[in-house]
């Protein structure tokens, strides 16, 4: 069995298709998991500061600037929130 990896919420955006895109990243910003939720689902789902994910489900973050931004945002979120905090 693969160990899970803790990811932290680094980005929340809204699309013109009425979707909310959540991006969770590893603390070093090199891996990410993108989740898309219908805005109606967001009312029934608690978005937490962190999630656990299978490392095999993660995508690399290729852009160095984005990796740096994600790593900085992880530090900020970790300093202000416990992993299970609604955010």
Whole-number pLDDT of residue 50 = 98
Q: Is residue 87 part of a domain?
A: no
Task: State the total domains in the chain.
Answer: 1
Q: Is residue 67 part of a domain?
A: yes
Average pLDDT, the chain: 94
Interval 27-55: pLDDT, tens: 999 999 999 999 888 788 899 999 999 99
Q: Is residue 23 part of a domain?
A: yes
| Location of structure tokens 């959540």 | 22
DSSP for 20-61, please give it: EEEEEE-TTSSEEEEEEEEHHHHTTS--BSEEEE-GGG-EE-
- How many alpha carbons fall within 13 Å on the CB side of residue 11? 19
**With a threshold of 0.75, does the pTM exceed it?**
yes
Containing domain of residue 52, as a range?
Answer: 5-80
Whole-number pLDDT of residue 39 = 82
């Amino acid at each position: 069995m693969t160990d899970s990896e803790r990811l932290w919420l680094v980005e929340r955006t809204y699309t013109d298709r009425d979707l909310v895109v959540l991006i969770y990243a590893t603390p070093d910003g090199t891996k990410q998991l993108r989740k898309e939720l219908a805005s109606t689902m967001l009312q029934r789902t608690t978005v937490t500061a962190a999630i656990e994910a299978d490392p095999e489900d993660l995508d690399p973050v290729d852009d160095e600037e984005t990796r740096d931004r994600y790593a900085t945002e992880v530090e900020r979120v970790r300093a202000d929130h416990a992993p299970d905090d609604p955010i």
